[in-house]
Amino acid sequence: MPGKRSGAGVVVVIGAGVIGSSIALELARAGHRVIVLDRAPGAGQGSTSASSAIVRFNFSTTAGVATAWEAHFGWLDWAGHLGRDVGDLAEFRRSGLVMLDVEAAPRASWLPLFDEIGVPYEEWDSAALAERVPGIDTGRYWPPKRLDDEEFWEDAEHALGGVYTPDAGYVSDPGLAAVNLAAAASACGADFRFRSTVAAVEKTGGRVTSVRLPDGTRIPCAVVVNAAGPWSGAVNRLAGVGSGFTVGVRPMRQEVAHVPVREGYGGPVVADMDLGTYFRGEAGGDLLVGGTEPECDPLQWTDDPDTVGIHPTAAVFEAQVTRAARRLPALAVPNRPRGVVGVYDVADDWTPIYDRTELDGFYVAIGTSGNQFKNAPVVGQLMTELINQVENGADHDAAPVRFRAPRTGLEIDLGAFSRRRKRNTANSGTVLG
Ligand SMILES: Cc1cc2nc3c(=O)[nH]c(=O)nc-3n(C[C@H](O)[C@H](O)[C@H](O)COP(=O)(O)OP(=O)(O)OC[C@H]3O[C@@H](n4cnc5c(N)ncnc54)[C@H](O)[C@@H]3O)c2cc1C
């Protein structure tokens, strides 16, 4: 890393969500002096806390599938991944996941990626789906409709199946996972400073030199990593970066409904683009129900994540839970909305940007598009590899860094996450990536 300045060797990570905390851990492990700044009072209190924390492998690119497959081994061996005793741990629950068939993303288009990476799966027809997910309605209802559309209530004429991945599941407490990573990073020497908002990113001669807090405190550094989640676009603007990005990012409000289920839901996670929903069980007996951005619903874009309404709304709650209840007819739709509101940091092609920028020393781990919680264990590692190589002179834009995933041995071409990539046109146009 370039020296001869007061912040020589210091890496500032902006954001202590699951992504920033993971990056801090790996950078600290690799011997960097790391300072993490977060405006919140603790780790994982941004969009990470609202995450459904589903760990699945369906992505539209080889790099996407490989990263998710590698990362799930980190969740399986969470204590080993952290490498330190940090107290109570988030838990990975291997519930399995079934991706229901949908015309917009036929299985034939993405199963070759599972074959290439070695992700185990079972192909289910509608009879297998009915047998393996008791109580499920296997009807094909595509395309998703609004509740006030009469066709919403029409009977299905066909049945669908799906692809089941037994190794998928979810993490019990996403906020705790970030806290675990931050604690492990602290134990490796990273310095977390909470209630510290980055108000300016300073540079000299095309290279980042320091960040500044609102009270004027200046923190000299050689490298800055923007891991500010849905605030990442604002932080990029502070740094004046963005020229040459082929992919932009934008915050989008999201709701996830929490619905009590008397006997609990013990089935797999169900990804149901056919009805425009996804759901999973929760240890306490709730069913978590989210949406997959069906075309019939307005998207809740926002310019400022701090201005979004923080309470679930009756309209979204009713739509999400009623769709889930079409799939699980025994599910009752409560009168009162209950759940969480969060904000996605959506990239134009629903694929994250893990990259350097045109400002030397300024890196981004952004555009996580509602689907990168699962990849956090690997994002820290691949960003550390990228930063080390680029700071040592690698020209990542010309010859993208290749990351050797430690648990699977897979080689991941980080050009897939470049800010200057050709947009990923195979993406589903939804949170599924
Ligand atoms: C409702 C919802 C459901 C989701 N479900 C899933 C899922 O099932 N599976 C999955 O894999 N992913 C899911 N995701 C996505 C996943 O949760 C996110 O990609 C991930 O948590 C993002 O982590 P992060 O660290 O980048 O951002 P955040 O957790 O938002 O952290 C960013 C941090 O930056 C701080 N910050 C911002 N600006 C500044 C500043 N100027 N100075 C200092 N600090 C700053 C904030 O305080 C915040 O703590 C979901 C997301 C949401 C919102």
Sign of torsion over alpha carbons 414, 418, 421, 423: positive
State the DSSP code for 168. Answer: -
The span from the CA of 210 to the CA of 192, in Å, is 16
**Is residue 320 a contact partner of residue 234, using CB atoms and an 8 Å limit?**
no
**Is residue 85 a contact partner of residue 36, using CB atoms and an 8 Å limit?**
no
| Span from the CA of 51 to the centroid of ligand 1 (angstroms) | 8
CATH of the domain at 307: 3.30.9.10
> What is the number of alpha carbons within 13 Å of residue 66 lying toward its C-beta?
20
**How far is residue 95 from each of residues 112, 211, 269, measured CA to CA in Å?**
23, 43, 7
Q: Dump pLDDT digits (tens) for 260-313.
A: 998 889 999 999 999 999 999 998 889 999 999 999 999 999 999 999 999 999
Q: What are the φ and ψ backbone dihedral angles of 27, each rounded to 5 degrees? A: -65, -45
> Same domain, yes or no, for 198 and 162?
no
> Same domain, yes or no, for 18 and 159?
no
| Span from the CA of 415 to the centroid of ligand 1 (angstroms) | 23
What six digits make up the tokens of 229? 């989640």
DSSP string, 44-84: T-SGGGG---EE----SSHHHHHHHHHHHHHHHTHHHHH-S
> What is the number of alpha carbons within 13 Å of residue 212 lying toward its C-beta?
11
Task: Tell me whether residue 125 is in a domain.
Answer: yes
Mean pLDDT rounded to a whole number for the chain:
96
What six digits make up the tokens of 327? 């799939």
Q: Dump pLDDT digits (tens) for 99-142.
A: 999 988 899 999 999 999 999 999 999 999 999 998 999 999 99
Would you state the pLDDT for residue 6? 59
256 C-beta closer than 6 A to ligand 1: yes
Task: Tell me whether residue 56 is in a domain.
Answer: yes
The number of distinct structural domains making up the chain is: 2
The span from the CA of 176 to the CA of 45, in Å, is 10
366 C-beta closer than 6 A to ligand 1: no
Would you state the pLDDT for residue 431? 79
Task: Tell me whether residue 23 is in a domain.
Answer: yes
User: What Rg value do the Cα atoms of the chain yield, rounded?
Assistant: 21
| Span from the CA of 352 to the centroid of ligand 1 (angstroms) | 12
Which residue among 14, 18, 48 has the greatest number of ligand 1 atoms within 8 angstroms of its CB, and so is best to mutate? 48
The span from the CA of 34 to the CA of 192, in Å, is 8
pTM of the full predicted structure? Answer: 0.97
**Cis peptide upstream of residue 112 (ω within 30 degrees of 0):** no
> Same domain, yes or no, for 276 and 322?
yes
| Span from the CA of 31 to the centroid of ligand 1 (angstroms) | 26
Task: Tell me whether residue 432 is in a domain.
Answer: no
Q: What's the pLDDT band for 1 if we cut at 50, 70, 90?
A: low
Task: Tell me whether residue 422 is in a domain.
Answer: no
> Same domain, yes or no, for 111 and 67?
no
Domain that residue 282 falls in: 95-170+250-347
